[in-house]
C-alpha cells in the first residue's frame, strides 16, 4: 500500500449556520480542517496510508482535532504536542452574489511556533512514497518555513516524490515574502499545483486574457503559465484548477495538467455549491492518488477534477467521498439520481 505524508496546520472551524451572516449568528457549527489535513483525509478514504504531521496543544481541543483525523483513518502518531493554542478560522458561507468570508484567528498557534526538534523526518519518512505540503504552512512564520524546508530536503534525500499546492493566502503574507520563501522550496518539488492567482501572486506569472470573474478562461494562457513554471523550476508536472465564479452559489469547474510536453484538460462541471472550502485540497489529493497509483495523466486529472467537484456538495473541510464515487463521476456517471 502506498504511503503519503503531509505537513501543515489543522484548525478549528467555526461556521455561521444556515448561510447566516456573522452578525446574525448566536451559535457556530464546529468542525476541523486545514489544507494538508484535508488532503490526508481524502487519501485515507481512497485506501492509502496517510499520515498528518503537525503540532497541536496538549489539551482537549488539540485532542479533538487529532480525533477528527483518526475518525477517517489518518495516522497521527507523529503529531507533536505542545504550544498554547489551536488555530481557529471563522467562516460565513456566501450565497448567490454574496461572497463567502473567512476570518483567521491563528496567530501564535502551536504549529507556527514549532521547532525543528519536534519532528524526526528520518523516522517520519521511513518507507514513505510521497510528501505533500502547501504554501499555507511556510506562510505561518519563519519557524514554519524552516521546518517545511527541512522536510523537503529530507524527503528528496530519501527519494520521495514531493508535491506542493501553492495556495497563496493574502491574509498570511505578501507576494514579496511568498516569492522569497517559496522560491527556496521549489527545487525540491516534483508536482506543483496552483490556480491563476497562486502563480501570479507567488511567482509573478500571470495567465493572459483570463478573467475568472467574468467567466473568461484562456486555456492557452494557462498552458503558458505551466510551461513557464516547468522552465523555471524543473517540475515533472504542473496542475491547475480552473474555477469560473459565476456567483457564490454557482461555479464552473475544470482542471489542467501539464507534463512538460503535453497539456491535458478535464471535462467541465457546473457546480451548485454547498461548501467550497477544501475544493482545491480535494483536487490535490485526487491528483496525488491518480499519479501514485500509476493512472495515465488524463485519467489522474479526470479523477482529481471529479473528486473535487463532488467535494463542493459536502459541508465541512473534508472531502468525504469514496473512491468508487469519484471513479464513477470521472467516467461520466454524474446524473445525481437517487441510488437505491
| pLDDT at residue 332, as a whole number | 82
Give the residue among 192, 223, 198 at the shortest CA–CA distance from 209.
223
H or E element: which one contains 3?
strand 3-7
H or E element: which one contains 13?
strand 11-15
Q: Is residue 337 part of a domain?
A: no
Q: Is residue 334 part of a domain?
A: no
Percentage helix, strand, coil for the chain under 3-state DSSP, each rounded to 5:
40, 25, 40
Evaluate the CA torsion angle 277, 82, 76, 140 in order and state its sign.
positive
pTM above 0.85, yes or no: yes
The pLDDT tens digits of the residues spanning 156-213 come to 999 999 999 999 999 999 999 999 999 999 999 999 999 888 999 999 988 766 554 5
Q: Is residue 256 part of a domain?
A: yes
Determine contact, residues 306/324, Cβ cutoff 8 Å.
no
- Angle, CA of 169, 116 and 184, to the nearest 5°: 50
**How does residue 247 score in pLDDT terms, banded at 50, 70 and 90?**
very high
**Total number of domains constituting the chain:** 1
Return the axis-axis angle of helices 35-45 and 279-292, rounded to nearest 10°: 50
| pLDDT at residue 196, as a whole number | 80
**Locate cell 477528527: which residue?**
68
| pLDDT at residue 195, as a whole number | 85
| pLDDT at residue 222, as a whole number | 84
**How does residue 338 score in pLDDT terms, banded at 50, 70 and 90?**
low
Determine contact, residues 123/52, Cβ cutoff 8 Å.
no
Determine contact, residues 238/257, Cβ cutoff 8 Å.
yes
| pLDDT at residue 335, as a whole number | 62
Average pLDDT taken over every residue of the chain: 93
Q: Is residue 229 part of a domain?
A: yes
pLDDT at 215 over 90: no
Q: What is the CATH number of the domain that holds 152?
A: 3.40.1190.20
Q: Is residue 339 part of a domain?
A: no
| pLDDT at residue 245, as a whole number | 87
Strand ranges inside 194-261, DSSP E: 237-245, 250-258
Q: Is residue 335 part of a domain?
A: no
**How does residue 241 score in pLDDT terms, banded at 50, 70 and 90?**
very high
The residue range of the domain holding 96 is 3-329
Distance CA 37, CA 136 (A): 12
Give the residue among 294, 293, 299 at the shortest CA–CA distance from 327.
299
What is the average pLDDT across 301-316? Answer: 96
The pLDDT tens digits of the residues spanning 282-304 come to 999 999 999 999 999 999 999 99
What is the average pLDDT across 224-241? Answer: 95
The alpha carbons of the chain give a radius of gyration, in whole angstroms, of 19
Q: Is residue 340 part of a domain?
A: no
Give the residue among 273, 284, 282, 203 at the shortest CA–CA distance from 239.
284
Determine contact, residues 43/50, Cβ cutoff 8 Å.
yes
What is the average pLDDT across 35-62? Answer: 98
The pLDDT tens digits of the residues spanning 2-45 come to 999 999 999 999 999 999 999 999 999 999 999 999 999 999 99
Number of C-beta neighbours around residue 213 at 10 A: 8
- Angle, CA of 20, 249 and 339, to the nearest 5°: 105
The pLDDT tens digits of the residues spanning 90-135 come to 999 999 999 999 999 999 999 999 999 999 999 999 999 999 999 9
Give the residue among 110, 152, 117 at the shortest CA–CA distance from 133.
152
Q: Is residue 146 part of a domain?
A: yes
**How does residue 137 score in pLDDT terms, banded at 50, 70 and 90?**
very high
Distance CA 200, CA 193 (A): 13
Give the residue among 106, 89, 97, 155 at the shortest CA–CA distance from 127.
155
| pLDDT at residue 336, as a whole number | 65
| pLDDT at residue 334, as a whole number | 66
pLDDT at 330 over 70: yes
Determine contact, residues 161/136, Cβ cutoff 8 Å.
no
Residue 175 neighbours by CB under 8 Å, 6+ apart:
168, 201, 202, 204
| pLDDT at residue 216, as a whole number | 59
- Angle, CA of 238, 145 and 191, to the nearest 5°: 15
- Three cell numbers written together for 155: 524527503
Amino acid at each position: 500500500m502506498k504511503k503519503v505524508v503531509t505537513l501543515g496546520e489543522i484548525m478549528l472551524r467555526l461556521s455561521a449556520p444556515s448561510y447566516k451572516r456573522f452578525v446574525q449568528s448566536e451559535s457556530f457549527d464546529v468542525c476541523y480542517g486545514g489544507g494538508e489535513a484535508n488532503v490526508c483525509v481524502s487519501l485515507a478514504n481512497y485506501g492509502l496510508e496517510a499520515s498528518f504531521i503537525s503540532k497541536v496543544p496538549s489539551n482537549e481541543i488539540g485532542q479533538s482535532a487529532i480525533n477528527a483525523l483518526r475518525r477517517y483513518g489518518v495516522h497521527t502518531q507523529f503529531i507533536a504536542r505542545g504550544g498554547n493554542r489551536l488555530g481557529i478560522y471563522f467562516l460565513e458561507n456566501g450565497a448567490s452574489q454574496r461572497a463567502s468570508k473567512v476570518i483567521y484567528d491563528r496567530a501564535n498557534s502551536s504549529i507556527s511556533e514549532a521547532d525543528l526538534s519536534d519532528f524526526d523526518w528520518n523516522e517520519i519518512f521511513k518507507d514513505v512514497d510521497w510528501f505533500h505540503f502547501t504554501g499555507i504552512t511556510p506562510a505561518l512564520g519563519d519557524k514554519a518555513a524552516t521546518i517545511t524546508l527541512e522536510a523537503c530536503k529530507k524527503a528528496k534525500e530519501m527519494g520521495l516524490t514531493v508535491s506542493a499546492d501553492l495556495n497563496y493566502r493574502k491574509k498570511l503574507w505578501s507576494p514579496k515574502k511568498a516569492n522569497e520563501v517559496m522560491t527556496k522550496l521549489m527545487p525540491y518539488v516534483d508536482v506543483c499545483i496552483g490556480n491563476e492567482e497562486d502563480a501570479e501572486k507567488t511567482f509573478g506569472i500571470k495567465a493572459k486574457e483570463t478573467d475568472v470573474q467574468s467567466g473568461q478562461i484562456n486555456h492557452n494562457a494557462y498552458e503558458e503559465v505551466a510551461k513557464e513554471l516547468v522552465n523555471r523550476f524543473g517540475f515533472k508536472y504542473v496542475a491547475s484548477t480552473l474555477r469560473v465564479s459565476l456567483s457564490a452559489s454557482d461555479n464552473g469547474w475544470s482542471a489542467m495538467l501539464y507534463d512538460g510536453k503535453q497539456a491535458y484538460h478535464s471535462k467541465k462541471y457546473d457546480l451548485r455549491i454547498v461548501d467550497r472550502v477544501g475544493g482545491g485540497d480535494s483536487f490535490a489529493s485526487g491528483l496525488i492518488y491518480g499519479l501514485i497509483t500509476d493512472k495515465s495523466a488524463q485519467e489522474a486529472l479526470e479523477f482529481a477534477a471529479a473528486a473535487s467537484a463532488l467535494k463542493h456538495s459536502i459541508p465541512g473541510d473534508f472531502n468525504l467521498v469514496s473512491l468508487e464515487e469519484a471513479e464513477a463521476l470521472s467516467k461520466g456517471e454524474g446524473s445525481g439520481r437517487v441510488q437505491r
